[in-house]
Structure 1
Amino acid sequence: MKLATALILAVPAIFFAEAGRAADAPVVVTSIKPVHSLVSAIMQGVGTPELIVDGAASPHTYNMKPSNARALQNAKVVFWVGPGLEAFLEKPLEAIGSDALVAELDKAPGLTKLKFREGGAFEPHDDGDHNDGNHHDGNGHDQAHADEDHDHDHGAFDTHLWLDPQNAKAMAAEITTTLVAADPANALTYQANAKTLDDRLDALDKEIAGIVSAVKDKPFIVFHDAYQYFEHRYNVRIAGSITVSPETIPGAERIAEIHKKVGELGATCVFAEPQFQPRLVDVVIEGTKAKAGVLDPEAATLDAGPDLYFNLMHGIANSMKDCLARES
């Protein structure tokens, strides 16, 4: 009976201890799944961040929900890539209370930024020459900066920054700095988690390079031009995109141009994305030797959490390898 009584008394004590620990965690809100994944990894043992663009939604076409607005109003810290990607968040973030820390991760120190490829159909590097005048560094990275004139709003660079694990490391460092500033009581946990994440990202970088090494010289077509960072990191050959941006449905002339290019490339792959117009891919490959595949740069089909970023990158690499290695 004494043991039973002790257990009964212990249960409320454990419950309130856990509740107290959860209450100590800052309210953290993240914009998209890849950012949420990095933040989740760094916050493990402290709390779980909230996610705005959940499920199969895309930041390119997202509309704010009342629950999202409430989450932002309650937030102590908000992480987003920036207005070039999550334009729907720009005004809501301006309206939230001044007590919240807002970290725009496209401003993280150490990022490699690549210029938008205006016109997007087929760039000079599709002839197989990776030294195409884009001023790459020794790792095949374009060091263009966002202060050049450009037709895109909010600067001149492509905002799909996370598709290079070295950029993910830079973003993770900024996330850690922000969390430590907002919640110094848990600084040691954040910093230890960040070190673990940093090591995992280095290992991932090597794994991805190994996965795509056998097919990196085979050209392929993507739905929209979201993969520059992956392309430049691993020297894969993107020969063009069906549309410049996913909000823009290509016209008949553009489709005919790409269909012709696919025919010239022969047994290539054309990759759809889960959220956007996969039937266009069927039109593009009709009557050619090309094969269809799917890439998921924003993790629409993946469950949110600390492992999502790694599943995302492995998924892209394996989809490329599986499709491009298939015989026609």
Structure 2
Amino acid sequence: MKLSRLFTCAVSSLLIPVGASAAVPKVVADIAPIQSLVSQVMTGVGSPELLVQSGASPHTYSLSPSEAESLQQADVVFWVGEPLTPWLEGSLENLSGDADVVELLEVPGTTTYAFRKGATFESHEHHGEHEGEEHHNDEQHDDEHNGEAHHDTAGEEHHHHHDGLDPHAWLDPVNGKVWLDAIAGALSQEDPEHAAVYARNAEAGKKKIDAVMADVQATIDELGAQQFIVFHDAYQYFEKRFGIAAAGAISIGDASKPSPARIDEIRGLVSDLKVSCVFTEPQYNPGIVRSVFGDTGVNTSAVIDPLGSDLTVGADLYPELLTSIAGSLRSCFGGGA
């Protein structure tokens, strides 16, 4: 019996893939774009679990028992931060007390913006040479200057100071590159054995993002000035990085139900600016868009998605997400698929 067990163990060890290790950490990421970035860094080593499943809104989500168990077993958790998933903060404290929890909005060098106020954005765009200016390690959050960028310093008490912060920061691919390095660093601390792999993968991921950014910029440049409205204010990071601006949003940044006054303001904007596209999102009922704008002649069939719900979860999702947003804009404005 003892020899039989030894033989079984020897055979089992031969079946373990080359490069696999019992020390590989259990990793959880909150949303698909973050899971994609982590997957890029972990390529050849392991695969992170996704917490908020594709097609669901991260603003309001209820963990399943299996998802709660994943948090409880995690060695490292990557999440955007409390402004995106306020419900997750308590779960992390209760279930992931022993894990290394990395809040990406707090990573030094991350460009962040305050939410834009009001249903229309035109007054917050085109601020001249200061528009989109980056302030590395700037302690001034200046939320009263909507749309102004700032960078959080590391190690400071920002935990309860996210009011007014737009959390959709992954839609700036420069943030994606910053986060690849942060992800590689956190994983290397947890798993030094694979530190060289993580660093190499992060560098490869940044090069891929650079290539996608060039393609997306070319697409946006071809579109020229266009007037469009988004379902909720989730895209200013993409807009500011690539030089395109939505005229307004039906709902505020957390995608809560718009007020009648806000709807009236948006309808007026469609007429005044001759808006050609109003984008829906797969996470939300498109009926509200059609009911509000169905008689205005504006295109309400276009879809734009900040999470990549129709993309395959994994390492390729993040660059494909950026490409798909540019493609949605081009398609709606008559430039083809």
TM-score, shorter chain, exceeding 0.5: yes
Q: Match of 2:133, as an amino acid?
A: D
Root-mean-square deviation over aligned CA pairs? 2.7
Answer yes or no: is the 8 Å Cα contact 1:222–1:270 preserved in 2.
yes
User: Quick check: 1:137 aligned with 2:133?
Assistant: yes
What do residues 42-72 of structure 1 show as CA deviations (whole Å, max 9, x unaligned)? 0010001011101211111111111111111
- Which residue of 208, 220, 223 corresponds with 2:228? 220
Equivalent residues of 1:258, 1:284 under 8 A apart: no
Given the alignment of the two structures, is residue 318 of structure 1 paired with residue 327 of structure 2, yes or no? yes
Q: Flag the 1:123–1:38 CA change in 2: closer, same or farther, 3 A.
A: same
Choose 104-113 or 256-265, whichever is displaced more: 256-265
* Corresponding position of 1:117: 116
Match of 1:278 in 2: 286
Q: Is the 8 A contact 1:246 1:276 kept in 2?
A: no
Alpha-carbon deviation of 1:22? 5.3
TM-superposed CA distance for 1:143, in Å, is 2.2
Question: Could you report, residue by residue, the CA deviation over 1:66-123 in whole angstroms, capped at 9, with x for unpaired residues?
Answer: 111111111111100111111121011112354311111111111111111123x002
Pick closer, same or farther for the CA change 1:97–1:291 going to 2, 3 Å. Answer: closer
Shift of 1:16: 3.4
CA contact under 8 A between 1:216 and 1:235: conserved in structure 2?
A: no
1:224 and 1:166 map into 2 onto residues whose CA distance is: 22
Equivalent runs, 1:155-194 vs 2, <5 Å: 155-194=163-202
One-letter amino acid matched to 1:42: V
Query: Is the contact made by 2:230 and 2:246 (CA closer than 8 Å) also made in structure 1?
Result: yes
Paired position in structure 1 for 2:63: 64
**Identical residues among aligned pairs (%):** 39
Q: What is the number of residues matched between the two proteins?
A: 310
Q: Does the 8 Å CA contact 1:106/1:161 hold for their aligned counterparts?
A: yes
Matched, 1:36 2:44: no
Corresponding residue number in structure 1 for 2:84: 85
Equivalent position amino acid for 2:149 in 1:
Q
> In structure 1, what is the Cα distance between the partners aligned to 2:130 and 2:229?
20
Contact persistence 1:27–1:75 (CA under 8 A): yes
Distance in 1 between residues matched to 2:335 and 2:267, nearest whole Å? 20
Q: Aligned AA for 2:315? A: P
Q: TM-score, normalised by structure 2?
A: 0.84
Following the alignment from structure 1 to structure 2, what is the Cα–Cα distance between the partners of residues 197 and 326?
29
Q: What does the per-residue CA deviation read over 1:227-286, in whole Å, with 9 as the maximum and x for residues that have no partner?
A: 000110111121000011454212333223212211222251000000112112212332
User: In 2, are the aligned partners of 1:224 and 1:242 still within 8 Å (CA)?
Assistant: yes
> Which segment is superposed worse, 161-170 or 93-102?
93-102
Q: Is residue 298 of structure 1 aligned with residue 328 of structure 2?
A: no
Matched, 1:287 2:295: yes
The match for 2:3 is none
The 1:284/1:267 distance shift into structure 2, 3 A limit, reads same
- TM-score scaled by structure 1? 0.86
TM alignment of 1:11-50, pairs within 5 A: 12=11, 15-18=14-17, 21=20, 23-50=22-49
Matched to 2:120, the amino acid is F
**Which is further off, 21-30 or 200-209?**
21-30
Q: Tell me, which stretches of 5 or more residues in structure 1 are unaligned?
A: 1-8
Counterpart in the other structure of 1:236: 244
Residue 196 of structure 1 aligns to a residue in which SS?
Answer: helix
Q: Which residue identity lines up with residue 318 of structure 2 in the other structure?
A: Y
Q: Distance in 1 between matches of 2:69 and 2:110?
A: 31
Alpha-carbon separation, structure 2, partners of 1:146 and 1:277: 35
